[in-house]
């Protein structure tokens, strides 16, 4: 398989999508008018994540049979680079939205963007090499979309943390997506992390900045009056929900 050619096709299809898709155009007009929200950024990340996932699988299948197993070398040559392009696109939109939110709140801080999660991108790439493409395609697509949405979550956390540390009253809200599980059960994992008007510390302690594969919960925050600076915020570290057991548990829930 010519990995460079596959990557070229995937990136070409991605560029065409973001420049012609009607929903993406609407979201961009909202951003340009200064009316876009973090929720709009999450919607955009979901759209581009879905498109990128479909494009990757379709192009791999065009080069290989559905029962063939992709090599790690080919997967790592294509998938992380494609994820990086989507990550850059989502961050550019996010930065403009965050800049506008800061201006409206009269916050003299520049928007922060998290680094590309290269280790997670490599994990997603390797997941394509464990079984035949047709057997891993659906879980792979969920992982790609979640990775795209997680870019928004990490950005929200970075900016909320910086503003809280600067002494601003940051209030975080996580909204349950209502999707639920099989047999009409609610997703208790998500319900345990939802909440309104939480302080940054409360949201962090509750795990509100985490997201499982297939999760559509919305994360947003507002900034109010100044509060006393709390030094323990500087020791917080980001924890992803990415252990094999947890990921498999969430995939089972989403069936």
Span 145-177, pLDDT tens digits: 999 999 998 998 899 888 888 888 888 889 888
**What average pLDDT does the segment 244-251 reach?**
46
> Per-residue b/e over 177-189, b at no fewer than 16 CB within 10 Å?
eeebbeeeeebeb
In this prediction, residue 39 carries a pLDDT of: 87
Sequence-ordered alpha helix ranges (H) in the chain: 3-20, 22-32, 38-63, 72-104, 118-127, 133-165, 188-191, 200-206, 244-253
The number of folded domains in the chain is 2
Last residue of a domain, one of 96, 128, 159: 159
Last residue of a domain, one of 132, 159, 186: 159
Q: What's the rounded Cα separation, in Å, for the pair 79 and 62? A: 15
**pLDDT tens digits for range 55-113:** 999 999 998 888 889 999 999 999 999 999 999 999 999 999 999 888 887 887 788 89
User: What is the span of the domain harbouring residue 19?
Assistant: 3-159
Quick one: 109 and 216 in the same domain?
A: no
Residue written as token pair 């991605």: 14
**pLDDT tens digits for range 28-56:** 999 999 998 888 999 999 999 999 999 99
Quick one: 206 and 104 in the same domain?
A: no
Quick one: 104 and 141 in the same domain?
A: yes
Quick one: 62 and 122 in the same domain?
A: yes
**Are the CB atoms for 52 and 144 separated by under 8 Å?**
yes
């Amino acid at each position: 398989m010519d990995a460079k050619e596959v990557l070229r096709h995937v990136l070409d299809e991605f560029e065409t999508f973001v420049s012609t898709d009607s929903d993406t155009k609407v979201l961009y007009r909202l951003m340009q008018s200064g009316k876009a929200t973090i929720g709009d950024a999450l919607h955009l990340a979901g759209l581009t994540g879905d498109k990128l996932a479909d494009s990757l699988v379709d192009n791999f299948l065009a080069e290989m049979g559905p029962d063939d197993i992709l090599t790690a070398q080919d997967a790592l040559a294509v998938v992380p680079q494609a994820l990086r392009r989507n990550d850059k696109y989502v961050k550019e939109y996010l930065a403009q939205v965050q800049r506008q939110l800061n201006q409206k709140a009269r916050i003299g801080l520049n928007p922060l963007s998290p680094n590309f999660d290269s280790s997670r991108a490599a994990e997603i790439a390797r997941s394509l090499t464990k079984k035949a493409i047709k057997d891993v395609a659906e879980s792979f697509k969920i992982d790609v979309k979640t990775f795209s949405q997680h870019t928004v979550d990490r950005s929200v956390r970075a900016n909320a943390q910086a503003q809280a540390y600067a002494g601003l009253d940051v209030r975080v809200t996580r909204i349950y997506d209502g999707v639920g599980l099989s047999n009409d059960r609610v997703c208790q994992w998500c319900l345990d992390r939802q909440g309104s008007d939480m302080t940054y510390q409360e949201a962090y302690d509750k795990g509100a900045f985490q997201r499982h594969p297939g999760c559509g919960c919305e994360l947003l925050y507002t900034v109010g009056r100044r509060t006393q600076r709390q030094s323990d915020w500087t020791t917080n570290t980001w924890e992803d929900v990415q252990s094999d057991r947890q990921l498999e548990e969430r995939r089972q829930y989403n069936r």
